[in-house]
């Protein structure tokens, strides 16, 4: 994937790929989550409540009546409304994990700067999901009429769904990381999945398990929920971009790697006794 031009010459040879491994992604994400835990709980609560308000408003006007023929369109509109409410909160979480400095006014700044592209990406992803699910249901219900061909088409459709959802995990963070055209954002997300299939599909499986857990213990959505998932997406993208020497806010590579090394040096003692390092 062609990288942007940055002043990223390092004085010491470094195996950058080590920072994009599963353990390193979890390490960075976990420590940053720990550092801003109470703030993130508050952000998530406000994010969830604002989306629930949209859902309640949609329910009052009949969007949740899935007995209607237009149920696909109704669910698509609900999805877009929730995405519209999420723009600012997602940007706030991104700034928290990438910079470590943010304020609640960043919600409004993110909304003003990224709303159009954010919604365009959401519309594309929502359309692909709706289209693949609709076709998958068709192939399942009519699998006796065309035999093996239907099973092949069903498998192909599900593969498209899996691939696109994996690519979509990168798209919102890429928008905040590098405010580029929609074509470049979609292109880079696809290339990242193709170049990091194990990590991308593994993350999707990890998210599926966590969604199941949160659904069983539904109060967890108010404490972790959206912030849990999106923050992991941001750190995952950060580490994958590092492989191509693409760094947020054009920091010199040496300075950036020093910060990552400080994260790697943190241990359990700091977790239990954080005041010793203040």
Instruction: Write the pLDDT tens digit of every residue in 210-238.
Output: 999 999 999 999 999 999 999 999 999 99
CB < 8 Å & 24+ apart, contacts of 260-266: 260/19, 260/24, 260/28, 263/27, 263/28, 263/31, 264/24, 264/27, 266/31
State residue 112's pLDDT score.
93
- The pTM (predicted TM-score) of the whole model is 0.85
- Which residue in 269, 249, 268 sits closest to 259, CA to CA? 249
Percentage of the chain modeled with pLDDT above 70: 83
Average pLDDT for residues 254-269, to the nearest whole number? 80
Range with lowest mean pLDDT among 154-163, 184-193, 259-268: 259-268
CB 74, CB 66: distance < 8 Å: yes
Instruction: Write the pLDDT tens digit of every residue in 133-151.
Output: 888 887 777 655 666 777 7
Tokens 């409304």 belong to 81
**Average per-residue pLDDT in the chain?**
84
CB 79, CB 122: distance < 8 Å: yes
CB 157, CB 136: distance < 8 Å: yes
Return all residues near 257 (Cβ < 8 A) that are at least 6 apart.
10, 14, 16, 19
Its sign, for the CA torsion 250, 117, 93, 210, is negative
- Whether 3 shows a pLDDT value over 50: the answer reads no
């Amino acid at each position: 994937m062609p990288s942007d031009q940055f002043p990223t010459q390092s004085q010491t040879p470094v195996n950058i790929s080590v920072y994009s491994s599963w353990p390193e992604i979890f390490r960075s994400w976990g420590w940053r989550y720990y550092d801003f835990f109470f703030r993130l709980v508050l952000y998530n609560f406000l994010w969830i409540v604002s989306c629930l308000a949209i859902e309640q408003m949609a329910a009052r006007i009949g969007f949740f009546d899935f007995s209607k023929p237009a149920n696909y369109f109704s669910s698509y509109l609900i999805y877009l409304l929730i995405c519209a409410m999420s723009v600012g909160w997602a940007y706030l979480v991104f700034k928290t994990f990438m910079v470590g400095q943010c304020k609640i006014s960043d919600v409004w700044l993110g909304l003003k700067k990224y709303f159009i592209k954010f919604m365009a990406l959401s519309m594309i992803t929502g359309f692909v999901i709706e289209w693949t699910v609709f076709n998958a249901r068709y192939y399942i219900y009519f699998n006796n009429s065309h035999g093996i061909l239907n099973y092949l088409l069903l498998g192909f459709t599900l593969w498209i769904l899996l691939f696109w959802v994996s690519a979509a995990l990168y798209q919102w963070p890429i928008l905040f990381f590098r405010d580029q055209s929609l074509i470049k954002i979609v292109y880079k997300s696809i290339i990242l999945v193709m170049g990091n299939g194990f990590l991308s599909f593994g993350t999707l499986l990890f998210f599926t398990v966590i969604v199941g857990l949160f659904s069983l213990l539904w109060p967890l959505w108010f404490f972790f929920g959206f912030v849990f998932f999106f923050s992991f997406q941001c750190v995952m993208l950060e580490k994958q971009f590092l492989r191509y020497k693409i760094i947020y806010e054009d920091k010199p590579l040496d300075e950036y790697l020093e910060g990552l090394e400080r994260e790697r040096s943190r241990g359990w003692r700091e977790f239990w006794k954080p005041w010793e390092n203040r």
